[in-house]
């Protein structure tokens, strides 16, 4: 089978040492490009020209830009100016919503739908989500249900949204205490990533996104530039832009490395999504979308036990990745030196150990965590724990059924 993905390393450096790279999905009606701008210059000011290449928006069309108050104050001016330049006769409307997870709910969704209706948005117009995963998920969901679906574009501004939530078409809001309780699969018509927006992203949010990037390195060794995952290879033979090496040099080489890491991550996510767009593959098929769940069963348990918002999602994922790694070691799926490689990298990236906020008196007890893990719908159908775990060679995962509870308990105790 030929790959459904076309990967273009196409555009010459925009700025010193920076490049633009795009990943395009093809072969399906909802294929869409992911454009990744450089860190050195604000590619947001090129958004209008890019829209002309990916949308059928008419010169007199309408555009609803949905953002949050923080991101809007920083970046809305760039994209409105750019769209006005390319579409001088278009009608633009900016909607700034409160920032944060607590806004990801029905009332805010109604606000977006009301703004769309007030603007008389139609299916030949456009909705743009400018912000992190909260805005992307919520505006995407609004786009999916308004008039049975209007075209929308993702313009992610957090690292997590760039490498994860903006790609793959899962859109949702939280509903009655259930995270992402209302939602569906609805693909954007394009994803436009301006890496320069990361310059203003708080460090804690950057780390949270980095945890998802490490996850990609652990699940997909065959993807773009992952040869460095072969730990037997001497470093002199490794590609200068390989995934694992880029991660390892992030500290000294943030600007250079991050663009390639985002591109590789989007590539891997897109590849998984193309294999199993709507999570219909058998739950034990590690090539399906379930592989993206690596570390997440642990993470969801910590988030729920500590109360949502105590840890950022990516921080909980960082904990879960280490616990999944240790569990694999216990079960004989990973050897000690590979575990050491992962541990060293996570430590160098400040992703291990994750400390709990001061107001948390003590970590949740294993019994509570195990109970929460058992409730995770992706974990079990028969009362046994089913987990995605890293295996040899590094960069490969399996779905392990019937994982012994006692072994899980030990890795929970090992972290805190
Ligand atoms: N759809 C999916 O596949 C998927 C995958 C993972 C996560 N998610 C969802 O994503 C959400 C989390 O997304 P998130 O981590 O991006 O959080 P977020 O959207 O809440 O953004 C985090 C904070 O950073 C601020 N911010 C965003 N960009 C900024 C920038 N460039 N400079 C300064 N501040 C900036 C925001 O205003 C916000 O306060 C969750 O709701 C989660 O459920 C969805």
CA-198 nearest atom, ligand 1? 31
Q: Is 176 annotated as catalytic? A: no
Contact (CB, 8 A) for 93 and 115: yes
CA of residue 158 to ligand 1 center, whole Å: 6
Residue 188 beta carbon below 6 angstroms from any ligand 1 atom: no
Q: What percent of the chain has pLDDT over 90?
A: 64
377 C-alpha to ligand 1 centroid (Å): 23
Of 136 and 242, the one with more pLDDT: 136
* Cα–Cα distance measured from residue 291 to residue 220, given in angstroms and rounded to the nearest whole number: 9
Lowest mean pLDDT among 20-24, 41-45, 191-195, 274-278: 20-24
Q: Is 359 helix (H, G, I), strand (E, B) or coil?
A: coil
Q: How far apart are CA 352 and CA 346, in angstroms?
A: 5
> pTM, whole model, 2 decimals?
0.90
CB atoms within 10 A of CB 387: 29
Confirm whether 300 is a catalytic residue: yes
Q: Which of 39-48, 91-100, 328-337 has the lowest mean pLDDT?
A: 39-48
Alpha helices, H only, 26-68: 47-54
* Active site annotation includes 170: yes
**Is the CB of residue 303 below 6 angstroms from any atom belonging to ligand 1?**
no
**Is the C-beta atom of 315 inside 6 A of ligand 1?**
no
CA of 163 to the centre of ligand 1 (A): 11
109-156 per-position pLDDT tens digit: 999 999 999 999 999 999 999 999 999 999 999 999 999 999 999 999
Could you tell which of 44, 131, 187, 300 is best to mutate to test the pocket of ligand 1, judged by most ligand atoms within 8 Å of the CB? 131
Q: Lowest-pLDDT range, 130-134, 168-172, 227-231?
A: 227-231
* d(CA 160, ligand 1 centre) in Å: 7
Q: Is 209 in the pocket of ligand 1 (CB under 6 A)?
A: no
Confidence at 376, pLDDT banded by 50, 70, 90: low
SS3 105: coil
What pLDDT, in 10s, does the model give residues 385-399? 899 999 998 889 999
Nearest one of 101, 332, 123, 343 to 214, comparing CA atoms: 343
> Greater confidence, 224 or 343?
343
pLDDT at 24: 53
Q: What is the pLDDT of residue 237?
A: 37
The answer to whether 343 touches 352, Cβ cutoff 8 Å, is: yes
User: What does the pLDDT average to over 394-405?
Assistant: 92
């Amino acid at each position: 089978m030929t790959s459904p993905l076309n990967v273009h390393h196409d555009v010459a450096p925009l700025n010193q040492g920076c490049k633009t790279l795009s990943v395009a999905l093809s072969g399906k009606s909802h294929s869409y490009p992911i454009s990744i701008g450089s860190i050195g210059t604000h590619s947001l000011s090129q958004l209008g020209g890019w829209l002309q290449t990916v949308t059928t928006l008419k010169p007199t069309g309408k555009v609803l830009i949905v953002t949050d108050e923080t991101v809007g104050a920083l970046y809305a001016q760039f994209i409105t100016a750019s769209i006005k330049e390319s579409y001088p006769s278009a009608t633009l409307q900016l909607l700034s919503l409160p920032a944060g997870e607590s806004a990801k709910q029905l009332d805010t969704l109604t606000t977006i739908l009301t703004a769309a209706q007030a603007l008389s948005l139609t299916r030949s117009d456009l909705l743009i989500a400018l912000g992190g995963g909260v805005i992307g998920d919520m505006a995407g969901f609004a786009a999916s249900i308004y008039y049975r679906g209007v075209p929308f574009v993702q313009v992610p501004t957090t690292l997590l949204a760039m490498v994860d939530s903006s790609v793959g078409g899962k859109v949702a809001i939280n509903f009655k205490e259930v995270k992402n309780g209302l939602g569906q699969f609805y693909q954007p018509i394009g994803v436009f990533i301006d890496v320069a927006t990361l310059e203003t992203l708080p460090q804690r949010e950057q780390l949270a996104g980095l945890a998802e990037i490490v996850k990609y390195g652990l699940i997909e060794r065959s993807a773009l530039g992952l040869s460095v995952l072969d730990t037997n290879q001497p470093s002199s033979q490794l590609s200068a832009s390989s995934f694992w090496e880029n991660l390892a040099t992030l500290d000294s080489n943030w600007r250079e490395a991050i663009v390639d890491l985002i591109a590789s991550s989007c590539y891997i996510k897109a590849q998984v999504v193309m294999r199993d767009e709507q999570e219909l593959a058998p739950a034990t098929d590690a090539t399906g979308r379930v592989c993206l769940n690596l570390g997440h069963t642990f993470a969801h348990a910590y988030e729920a036990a500590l109360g949502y918002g105590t840890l950022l999602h990516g921080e909980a994922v960082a904990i879960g990745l280490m616990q999944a790694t240790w569990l694999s070691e216990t079960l004989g799926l990973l050897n000690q030196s590979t575990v050491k490689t992962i541990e060293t990298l996570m430590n160098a990236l400040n992703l291990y150990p994750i400390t709990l906020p001061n107001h948390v008196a003590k970590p949740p007890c294993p019994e509570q965590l195990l109970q929460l893990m058992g409730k995770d719908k992706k974990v079990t159908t028969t009362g046994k724990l089913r987990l995605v775990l890293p295996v040899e060679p590094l960069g490969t995962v399996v779905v392990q059924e019937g994982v012994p509870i006692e072994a899980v308990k030990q890795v929970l105790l090992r972290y805190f």
